[in-house]
Structure formats: C-alpha cells, structure tokens
Amino acid sequence: MAFTPVRIVCQNTLSLGLREAKVSVSLQHRKSIKEDAQWYTDLFGQMTTAKDESIATMNTLTGVEVSEDEAKRVINKSYPKPTVPTRLRISNGVTPDDIGADKWVRFLAEREDMQKQHAQQVERIQIHKDMAFERYEIFNDEHPKVAHTPWAIWQAVCETEDYRRGREANRGRLSSALYGGRATTKERAFNQALDLVRG
C-alpha cells in the first residue's frame, strides 16, 4: 500500500512498485490476530492522513500563476548541469613541461575524450530541459484551468521523465522512474514547484 507523487506509467511500473513496496502485510490466523490487525489498521490510518496532507500540498500547486521565467527556472533546477569531472578539471592546467613530451600526446587524447564525454552530458541535459519546456507549453494548451501553474511545470517534468527515450530507456527505465535518476529529477521539480507556492 503506497501513496506517491510519482506517476505510475503502466501496469509494469505498478507491478514493480508493489514488488518494491515498503509496506506489505500478510496476517496469519493466530491468537494475536486481533492485536495485529489493530496495529496495521492504525498504521494505515496514519498513511491515510499522510495521503490527505499530500493531496492538500499538491492542490496548492494549482492555485498560483507563474511567469515563463519562473517555469524555466524550475526546469533548469530540475536538470542541473553535470559537474566537470575532477580529472578533466585538473588536466586543464597541465602543460607538456609537467608530464614530459613523451606522454603529452596520449594525455591530450585522453583530455579530448573527457571533454567530448562531458560536452555530450551537457547536451543531453539541455535536450531534456527543452523537452520539458515543450511539454509545459503543450500541457498549458491542453489544460487551461491549471495552465501556467507550478502544477503544470511539475507535470511537464514528470511526463518528460516518464516517456523520454534514451540509453537507459529499456532495461533501467521502470525502476529509474520510481526510484532512480528519473525519480530524483521529478522530486527536484516537485520541490522547486512547491517553492513557487511558498514564495
């Protein structure tokens, strides 16, 4: 039993979510069944309270209109730029005198490879940002009652993360959407959207 702002993409993610659930109850018919049942009922009552609080929090996301700049800021913070790898950062100050001419050519090739990989990561993040903003604009057109709200921004990021394709889209996609990198991005977007409401 779980309540989460993470969108269930399909039956597969639902199955995965249930399999990975933090709470799973199976009561055995023994002397303490009454006490056991009461304990779990109390626990689920607390979960219901948490659910109601979560719904109330989510509802606040629909009550504020935001500017395009604020929407872009949420998206930018949801997809932070990848940090420059330590080896690449350190290598930028190295000269042929530091390592010797015989190793310089290999060093340059390795640094160029690291620069390419980092540039690809930066480009990939920018593609995700562009996709999220495009989804935001589409969401605004399709849902005028909640258009231009923090809810719209959060939904755009969720949709981008749940349905975008990439190298990780096949084997790791389902778990990533619920618990991995995609879930982290959606959580960042939710927190940033909530900050717009709280001002």
Q: Give per-residue pLDDT as tens, 123-147.
A: 999 999 999 999 999 999 999 999 9
Query: What is the crossing angle of helices 33-60 and 181-198, to 10°?
Result: 60
Task: Quote the DSSP letter at residue 79.
Answer: S
Query: In this structure, what token pair is assigned to residue 165?
Result: 């394709």
- Compute CA distances 54 → 1, 49, 100, 112, 184, whole Å: 15, 9, 61, 48, 18
Q: How many Cβ atoms sit within 10 Å of the Cβ of residue 56?
A: 9
- Predicted local confidence at residue 1, as pLDDT: 43
Mean pLDDT of the chain: 81
Q: Give per-residue pLDDT as tens, 22-71.
A: 555 666 778 888 887 787 777 776 666 667 777 788 888 999 999 999 99
Distance in angstroms (rounded) separating the CA atoms of residues 160 and 166: 11
* pLDDT at residue 114 tops 50: yes
pLDDT average, residue stretch 115-123: 94
The residue behind tokens 């993409």 is 9
- Predicted local confidence at residue 111, as pLDDT: 87
**194 vs 178, higher pLDDT:** 194
Distance in angstroms (rounded) separating the CA atoms of residues 188 and 73: 12
122 phi/psi in degrees, rounded to 5: -60, -45
**99 vs 128, higher pLDDT:** 128
* pLDDT at residue 19 tops 60: no
- Compute CA distances 26 → 23, 31, 64, 113, whole Å: 10, 15, 43, 54
Helix (H) or strand (E) holding 111: helix 101-142
